[in-house]
Structure 1
Amino acid sequence: MAGVLDSVNQRTQMVGQNRLELLMFRLRGRQIYGINVFKVREVLPCPKLSSIPNSRQVVRGVSHVRGETIPIIDLSMAIGLLPIPQENLATSFVIITEYNRKTQGFLVSGVERIMNMNWEDIVPPPSGAGKDVYLTAVTRIDDKLVEIIDVEKVLAEVSPLGEDVTEHLVTRGSEREQGTLPILVVDDSSVARRQIERCLTAIGLEVVVRNDGKQALDYLKEITADGSKAEDHLSMVISDVEMPEMDGYTLVTRIRENQSLRDVHVMLHTSLSGVFNQAMVKKVGANDFMAKFSADELAERVMEILDQA
């Protein structure tokens, strides 16, 4: 267990190399699940939980961790499995994470180990898995399937974020000059794609979506194959950072290396809030970044960027 905690503290070392460290854990049964260590603050044995009146059943309680009161979500229950039995809490663990500007703990049955991996070895879930599946990607480690949880989908159901743009920004968007080129949105989470697309269309913008960095790069090369520039087709690119096959940092690097793509405006839009590395954003050449998810903040920032172009 000490080795796991030590590795968590080194979580930023793989950023920008299309690599990640994957924390593997179990819920119920033998299936192994994964979460990017970059979003993990710490892993600890399940602390004492205090119940919250009228809370969702999936929230097993709150715990006081290093002076902060943190909700503890039963991750097994959140993805549609049976809850972790009360009598097993003493041998369970909590993974403290930071997503979308919030801190929460995920209750899991056991923590396995951390693997250093390449994003190219992590692929989207099978197309036949269905739209309601709680997976954002899968990989194989030691001939075992590891399922990577779509945490944004889990949190959107447990603690929904406001997805609607306020009326004054909708009005401001409608008053802007028409004819703005589409925005390319790149995100592996279906929930995040929906949130961003809904936000941008509310202010009158056209959106093109792709599910990961590789798909986005292929699309960019396709639309510029005639010798045109990316900015002839798109007003900007908004990309997640963590994605299978090619992460957002690598996507930006590839864009800046390509003569036809290099001048397009790129915003990194990520749930990596508390540990977000601004130096890495500048290193790879992104123009801007924003932590997920505030519909008003995103709408306002995008309109500012377009008005300055």
Structure 2
Amino acid sequence: MSEMLKNVDSRTNLVGQNRLELLMFKLVGRQMFAINVFKVQEVLTLPALTLMPHRSPSVIGVVYLRGRALPVIDLSQAIGMRPIVYNDESTIIVTEYNSTVQAFLVGSVDRIVNLNWEQIKPPPTGAGRHHYLTAITQLEEQIIEIVDVEKVLSEIAPLSTELPDHILQDEMIARAAGKEILMVDDSQTAHTQAHAIFTKLGLKVHQAMDGLEGLEFLIKMAEETDGPITDRLLLVVTDAEMPRMDGYRLTTEIRNNPKLKDLFVVLHTSLSGAFNEAMVEKVGCNRFLSKFKPQELAELVRNRIEELS
């Protein structure tokens, strides 16, 4: 399976086309799950496992792979299903999120599929707030559930919204007052953390759950705003992977719209930095920032306000 995973250069061919590749797998039943291939480093048989004291219940231990220790997370147990019974022939998916690498224990890996983001839909509204899905799709009459890995990881290692005192200066807060930000992300976990940080800085935060909703919001705001929209909106902070329209396509649409083209767009994602540095230039983002780094997010706001002074 590992040879099926593409390098950075080949993955960039999908960017701007509103397409994605999903790695499909099963956990403990017949239901098919998936994660974005961009997050996957390799798929392999479970190496020798070392137990860890005082570990999270869903962390079954640590493996040593290519000179580094990786936590192994039972993904089934982490999302509220029964644990996977594992042995030395079990399968793990090694992933990178937010510059950290971890392995997920799964029941079996199926295949990689190439889809359009328009085929990816938000979870049903009746699913409640506590599910572990960012989206669903349908393939060959089967529902595929796309796992909210960011939520899984945040429950194992809770996210921080603490900011150092020097960032929360009165002058900084005063200069930020009245400024607005649009946060576009399909993860409620990401919204919660970023919203807490932005409001500490005195900013008004608008939220959209995917790129299409974000684009519609911006077009409406531009129509309702006297003068340039940039006088009102300090930043557009967008995730990369989202149902219906991804962050790369959203950025492309912004740059192609005369009323929106000068907006400052930040790609805020858990995808690897090496990949996104290439993507920032290709689609026209102003900046790339890894998710769940509160001080860097606050510094970005600070620097942007200083640029406009």
Normalised to the residue count of structure 1, the TM-score between the two structures is 0.94
Q: Which residue of 1 aligns with 2:3?
A: 6
- 1:274 Cα deviation from its structure 2 partner: 4.6
Per-residue CA deviations over 1:134-161 (Å, capped at 9, x if unaligned) read 0000000111000000010000001123
CA contact (8 A) 2:180 2:232 kept: yes
- Whether 1:241 aligns to 2:240 is yes
Unaligned residue ranges in structure 1 (runs of 5+): none
> Matches of residues 97-116 of structure 1 in structure 2 within 5 Å?
97-116=95-114
For 1:14 and 1:257, the matched residues in 2 are separated by: 19
- 1:173 Cα deviation from its structure 2 partner: 6.2
Query: Structure 1's 240 and 178: CA in aligned 2 closer, same or farther, altered over 3 A?
Result: closer
For 1:247 and 1:41, the matched residues in 2 are separated by: 21
For 1:257 and 1:144, the matched residues in 2 are separated by: 36
Q: 1:225 aligns with which of 223, 226, 249?
A: 223
Q: Which residue of 2 aligns with 1:42?
A: 42
Query: Structure 1's 196 and 226: CA in aligned 2 closer, same or farther, altered over 3 A?
Result: closer
Stretches of 4+ moved more than 3 A in 1? 172-176, 226-229
Q: Any idea what SS the aligned residue of 1:170 has?
A: coil
Per-residue CA deviations over 1:7-56 (Å, capped at 9, x if unaligned) read 21346142332111100000010000000000001110111110001111
- Whether 1:78 aligns to 2:55 is no
Q: Which residue of 2 aligns with 1:215?
A: 213
Q: Any idea what SS the aligned residue of 2:3 has?
A: helix
> Matches of residues 159-174 of structure 1 in structure 2 within 5 Å?
159-171=157-169
Q: Which residue of 1 aligns with 2:204?
A: 206
> Matches of residues 135-284 of structure 1 in structure 2 within 5 Å?
135-171=133-169, 175-177=173-175, 179-226=177-224, 228=226, 229-284=228-283
Q: Which residue of 1 aligns with 2:299?
A: 300
Identity %: 47
Per-residue CA deviations over 1:201-227 (Å, capped at 9, x if unaligned) read 111111111111000000011112357
Q: Any idea what SS the aligned residue of 1:48 has?
A: coil
The one-letter code of the counterpart of 1:289 is F
Aligned CA-pair RMSD:
1.6
Q: Which residue of 2 aligns with 1:62?
A: 62
For 2:269 and 2:165, the matched residues in 1 are separated by: 25
Which sits farther off after the overlay, 92-101 or 4-13? Answer: 4-13
Q: Any idea what SS the aligned residue of 1:49 has?
A: coil
How many residue pairs are counted as aligned between the two chains? 304
Q: Any idea what SS the aligned residue of 1:177 has?
A: helix
CA contact (8 A) 2:172 2:302 kept: no
For 2:254 and 2:153, the matched residues in 1 are separated by: 31
Q: Any idea what SS the aligned residue of 1:107 has?
A: strand
- 1:101 Cα deviation from its structure 2 partner: 1.6
Query: Structure 1's 90 and 172: CA in aligned 2 closer, same or farther, altered over 3 A?
Result: farther
- 1:277 Cα deviation from its structure 2 partner: 3.0
Per-residue CA deviations over 1:272-294 (Å, capped at 9, x if unaligned) read 12542312211211111111121
- 1:180 Cα deviation from its structure 2 partner: 3.6
